[in-house]
Each structure stands twice: as C-alpha cells, then as structure tokens.
Amino acid sequence: MKLNLFIQRLLLSTILCLVVFVATAQPGDPSGDPDVPITGIEILLAIGGILGIKRSFTSKKTRIDNQ
C-alpha cells in the first residue's frame, strides 16, 4: 500500500516536470513579419491623450468666458 502511494507520487511529479519543461521551451525562429499589432495599451494612451487635449481646450474656454 505504501509502495503504491510512492509510485503514484513519483509518476505525478515526473509528469508535472515534463509538462513544465515542455511549456517553457523556447519557440523557433519566427519567419513571419516581426511587426507587433496595436495592443490595448496604445489605445488607452491615445484615448487619454485625446481626453487631455479636450479638457485643456475646455479649461481655456471657461477661463476666457469667466474674464
């Protein structure tokens, strides 16, 4: 009974080590286009810039109206 539990744990740890080894393997040299598409960070930065420009124009307009 104790030997059976040892064999199960040994088999499980071996399988887990193999899965980790395969999952962290480096991919081959990509032969395609290395350009990266626009991701969410660039979109958020653009929206933030547009919002900042809009607020600065609105702020200038309200300052002129108040004077």
Contacts of residue 10, defined as CB under 8 A and 6 or more positions apart, other chains included, come to none
**54 part of a folded domain:** yes
Task: Say if 47 falls within a structural domain.
Answer: yes
Residue 60: inside a domain, yes or no? yes
- The whole-angstrom separation of Cα 11 and Cα 23 is 18
- Please give the model's pTM, rounded to 2 decimal places: 0.41
Bigger pLDDT: 35 or 67? 35
Instruction: Count how many domains the chain has.
Output: 1
Any domain includes 59: yes
Q: What is the residue range of 48's domain? A: 41-67
Confidence band of 12 (pLDDT split at 50, 70, 90): very high
pLDDT at 48 over 80: yes
